[in-house]
Structure 1
Amino acid sequence: MPSIFSATLALCIATAGVLSGICMYPPHGPPPTRFRTDRIRFMTGAFPKLVTHICTVAFLYHALVTLYYPATATDAPVLSTICPYPHHLDANIVSWSPRTMLSLLTIFVGAIVRIAAYGGLGRNFTFELAAPDRLVTGGMYRFVQHPGYTGLGMVVAGGLGICYQWHSAAIACWMPDGLFYDLQWVAELGGLGVGVVGLSVLTIRVRDEERMLRERFGEEWEMWHRRTARFVPGIA
């Protein structure tokens, strides 16, 4: 029978997975008209929805494995059934540890910021680039210009600490010994590549958004842009 510690961690990880899914899934459908310059338009259709489903399943599966880890004599058959290679798991991400606590806290705080950004913009928050009907400067937008990206960045960073890595249950449990150890360097290199691409995409999108807002609102946007940070107050 799972312990209270593994059960609470599994519940927290499952909750984090659901919140991550909410933060990655478009809150509204495509706008009727789009801004003429949207250089990452190809990533705003089915792509985020597919990523959302994959990440949510990875979180929920990780939570299930966590529920039976570490396995007692009674739970060992269950764990070996749902996780054929449990010896690949990193105990720091399938049991309570400073790493899991920090990662979960980062996800929960990031989700609050991201969902607050959804609420602040309302139907103007779309993954496709479109000029809003008004410039929102209250709520989260009183302090930062792109709180949605700040929140999403925190959610992804927290996910990297638990589920989006080589030792996570979704990979470690199903990778045979030879492949698991031989391909680890490939995963690390791939993760670095994904990080570089992600930062590049973010930079492009922010520039396109700011160009759109400058053209749409002029001096009103310029004044707000000068007095607020882009992502983190007092830092960036």
Structure 2
Amino acid sequence: MTRETKLTRRETLLKLIAGGGALSLAGCGLDARSPAALAVLEKAETLTRLAQRALLAPREALAREYRPQDISSYFRPNGSTAPDDADYQDAAANGFADWRLEVGGLVDNPLKLSLADLRAFAPRTQITRHDCVEGWSCIAQWKGARLASVLAAARPKPAARFIALFCADTLEQSLDGNGRYYETIDLVDAAHPQTILAYEMNGAPLPVEHGAPLRLRVERQLGYKMAKYVMRIEAIDGFAALGRGRGGFWEDRGYEWYAGI
């Protein structure tokens, strides 16, 4: 892509954001709780995501990586710290020896991977900062298999547009049955070199409070995107049918789907 093409795309995005017109709820008199208003907000969020990627950094840009001496002496756990799911507890009691990560959905080669299988992929180790939406940050070293490598082995179909991660922890007993944690990212973030399925933290097996046996690290986004206790991964063409249709546990409760930093 030429510099002129990039500038044209950026100028177009800026004009759309600045103009607001069709995206202004007040201007079009929509009830903010109505399906029409939600559709408008979804379009605005997509535009914001595209603008951020176009204006701030190329898609392949790396998050900052730190030195070993920068690692936080205490890394605050986020979300669940000990899932009470029976299958998870059985797996944990056995040291996750019989645990398997299922990889399926829109793929040509479904997989069931043990921790040993995941360790057989070329590992990536990175020291990065975890930024929580609540305002705190911690730095840790993570080691794991690149998500892109795992997906390459599963061979996603052309229709795949997102990756869904389904987890073992239930954060709330909701009446609609959507209290189990899940998260989705698009294929751009799935392919990022720092997006890994981490099985080690600070040189040791991932602790339970931090998501053992496997958690997602997607370093260009906020902490709530870093799904813990990952049990299953699916390549999907959309997430409207998952949970409450917003693309993640916290997104279903009002958080933005794209949490880029």
TM-score (norm 1): 0.26
- Name which one, 1 or 2, has greater alpha-carbon Rg: 1
Higher relative contact order (CA 8 A, sep 6+): 1
The alignment's TM-score, normalised by the length of structure 2, stands at 0.24
More strand by share: 2
